[in-house]
Amino acid sequence: MRVLLTGAAGKLGAQLQQQLAEKHDVIGMDIIGDVDHLLDLTNYAGARELVRRISPEIVLHPAAWTDVDGCALDPKKALSINGLASAHLAAITAQIGIPILYVSSNEVFDGTLNRPYTEVDLPNPINPYGYSKWYGERATTQVNPQHYIVRSAWLFAHGGGNFVQAIRSAAESGKSLRVVTNEVANPTYTNDLAAAIAQLIETERFGSYHLVNEGAISRWQFARAILDQSGYVDTSIEGISRHEWKRPSLPPEYTPMANFAGSSIGIKLRPWQEALRAFLTAETSA
């Protein structure tokens, strides 16, 4: 299958390209980086010309502005990158009659349920990042009937720049740690998410999916597990409320997601504890 992959220079995009290349012809694009094509997806005419010229059989769209605090400081930019660019791709793929897969986030939910969110629960974003991702979801589902919406959460990937590396780095340098206790979701290993997406696009079962590693945990509990598995069992962590951690954006409090739709067709991700062990083992041996 000929696959056009956006965000190919990003962590998830790079992992998708690596895994999909074993079976498919993958063409990567991004706004920066060493990719097959450089393009700003907010440029509708340019995106349409490129997609038509490449003539893919499916478009995978993980590209996004994932700086949650940055989105809060510049909501218009967030909506342009995460929403309107996604609407462009949805329209283009619908015009030429091919599927699109849009990667979304647990932050489309408001965090007020007392149970994990399923794929049929209604989004109600409470911050600009979540709203921009919800906008992208809506554009995709309303414009192209051949769509996959994949929501995930708390991604950690090799190459730095995420919560796992931040916690380990702080412990290594002897910094004091303060971590939120009342923000809960599913930590998810990018390698596992990429494998699940690769499996999903083979099914042609369009719809919405929650693809996360199994199990929900608080930020504080996740940080504790990272330290314990990294050999920092004696390093203490001060637990604080999310309202004490001053930042431009306030994430939803309780957004565990249940993989109901995916598991019903045989797509399951391992527990987050196993995924974290696999991640740390790979980091150590790298």
- 161-196: b (≥16 Cβ within 10 Å) or e: ebbbbebbebbeeeeebebbbebbbbbbbbbbbbbb
**Residue (of 166, 212, 165) closest to 190 by Cα position:** 212
Residue 162 is predicted with a pLDDT of: 87
Q: 70 exposed, middle or buried (CB, 10 Å; 0-12, 13-18, 19+)?
A: middle
| Domains of the chain from N-terminus onward | 2-158+188-215+255-271 (3.40.50.720)
The DSSP result for 135-191, as a single string, is HHHHHHHHH-SSEEEEEE-SEE-TTS-SHHHHHHHHHHTT---EEESS-EE--EEHH
Q: Distance between CA atoms of 94 and 32, rounded to whole angstroms?
A: 26
CB 223 within 8 A of CB 232: no
Strand ordering across the sheet containing 147-152: 37-38, 25-30, 2-5, 58-61, 100-105, 147-152, 207-210
Question: Contact 128/65 with Cβ under 8 angstroms?
Answer: no
pLDDT digits (tens, 9 = 90+) for 226-253: 999 999 999 999 999 988 888 899 899 9
- Rounded CA gap, 91 and 42, in Å? 13
> Does residue 87 sit in helix, strand or coil?
helix
Burial of 281 (0-12, 13-18, 19+ CB in 10 A): exposed
Point out the residues of the chain with pLDDT beneath 70.
Answer: 286
> Residue 259: its pLDDT value, please?
97
What global pTM score does this model have? 0.96
Q: What digits encode the pLDDT tens for the residues 29-73?
A: 998 888 888 889 999 999 999 999 999 999 999 999 999 999 999
pLDDT at res. 97: 97
pLDDT on residue 286: 62
Residues 190, 15 contacting (CB under 8 angstroms):
yes
Which helix (H) or strand (E) segment holds residue 73: the answer is: helix 68-73
Q: Strands 184-185 and 217-218: what pairing?
A: antiparallel
CA atoms within 13 A on the CB side of 116: 18
